[in-house]
Chains A and B, each alone.
Chain A
Amino acid sequence: DTAVSQTPKYLVTQMGNDKSIKCEQNLGHDTMYWYKQDSKKFLKIMFSYNNKELIINETVPNRFSPKSPDKAHLNLHINSLELGDSAVYFCASSPGLRRPTQYFGPGTRLTVL
C-alpha cells in the first residue's frame, strides 16, 4: 500500500516544454506539499495546500502552478522548462492541525536538456 505516490519517477525533457508531475496520497491527510531538492541535495518548500486551498507559495516562479483537484491529489505543472528546473521534486502530506509529521513520496527526478 503506497502512502504517497508520484508519477512519473523520472522525467527527461527539452527546455521550453511544459510538463506535469502527479501526486496522490491515500492517508486521508488534509495537507499536501511540494518540495524541490537541488543538485546539492538541499530541500526547499515550494507550496503547501490545506483542503485544496493554497496556503504557502514560497517565491517560486509563476511558471510553476500547483493544482489540487481534491484533498488526495496535488499536481505540479511546469511551463516553459528551464535548465535550472532540473532537480528532484518531492510531494509530501501531513494530517494537519497540530499533527506535523510529513510523509514523503518517492520523488520525481526532472532533467531538462
Chain B
Amino acid sequence: AQTVTQSQPEMSVQEAETVTLSCTYDTSESDYYLFWYKQPPSRQMILVIRQEAYKQQNATENRFSVNFQKAAKSFSLKISDSQLGDAAMYFCAYRSWGLYSGGGADGLTFGKGTHLIIQP
C-alpha cells in the first residue's frame, strides 16, 4: 500500500515571502499521480496542482510550483509571494495510475497535512 508523509505539521511565513512544503511518498508503482490540495477554514478542498509521474517537467500554476524528485519519492510545493489567502491546511495526495476499472476509480491517499500560517 502507498503511504504519504508530510513531516511539517505547521509552517509559518511572512507575507510576500516564499515557503516550501515537504511531501514524501512510498510506492512500488512506476506510474502514478501526485496532487497538492488546499483546505482553508471554509473546509472546501481545492486542487492546487497536479503532477503526472511520467512527466519530468515540474508542474507550475501561477505562484505555485512543485519540485518532483521521482527517484527520491519527493514532491514538495513551493509557494512564491505568499498572500494572506494562502493560509490553509495543505495536503499532499497520491493516486495510482489505475488499479481499478481501467484507471478510473482509484482513491487518493493523503498525507496528514501541513498547516500554513501567513504572517502579515
Residues of A within 8 A of B (CB): 30-31, 33, 35, 40-45, 48-50, 53, 55-56, 58, 88, 90, 92, 94, 96-98, 100-104, 106-107, 109
25 example contacts (A-B, Cβ-Cβ < 8 A) are as follows A30-B104, A31-B104, A33-B107, A35-B107, A35-B108, A41-B39, A41-B112, A42-B110, A43-B110, A45-B107, A45-B108, A45-B109, A48-B105, A50-B101, A53-B101, A55-B100, A55-B101, A56-B106, A96-B105, A100-B95, A102-B108, A104-B37, A106-B44, A107-B44, A109-B43
Identity of the chain B residue whose Cβ is nearest the Cβ of A92 in the assembled complex: B45
Interface residues, chain B, CB within 8 Å of chain A?
33, 35, 37, 39, 42-47, 50, 89, 91, 95, 98, 100-110, 112-113
**Residue in B35, B50, B108, B112 whose Cβ sees the most chain A Cβ within 10 Å:** B108
A52 to chain B, nearest CB (A): 12
Supposing A33-B107, A48-B105, A98-B103 touch, asked if A90 and B113 sit within 8 A by C-beta, the answer is no
Residues of A within 8 Å of B98, CB to CB, are 98
User: A42-B113, A98-B103, A109-B43 known; 19 other A-B pairs, CB under 8 Å?
Assistant: A30-B104, A40-B112, A41-B112, A43-B91, A43-B108, A43-B110, A44-B110, A45-B107, A45-B109, A48-B100, A48-B105, A53-B101, A56-B100, A56-B105, A96-B103, A97-B102, A100-B33, A102-B108, A106-B42
Q: Give the residue name and chain of the A residue nearest to B113 (CB).
A: A41
Known contacts A41-B89, A88-B43, A106-B44; is A97 also within 8 Å of B103 by CB?
Answer: yes
CB distance from A8 to the nearest CB of B (A): 14
Residues of chain A within 8 A of B110, CB atoms compared: 42-44
Q: Output the least CB separation between B110 and chain A (Å).
A: 4
Assess the A101–B50 pair: CB atoms within 8 A.
yes
> Are A106 and B43 CB-contacts (below 8 A) given A43-B110, A101-B50?
yes
A101, B47: Cβ atoms under 8 Å? yes
Measured in the bound complex, the distance between the Cα atoms of B107 and A90 in whole Å is 12
In the complex, are the beta carbons of A56 and B112 less than 8 A apart?
Answer: no
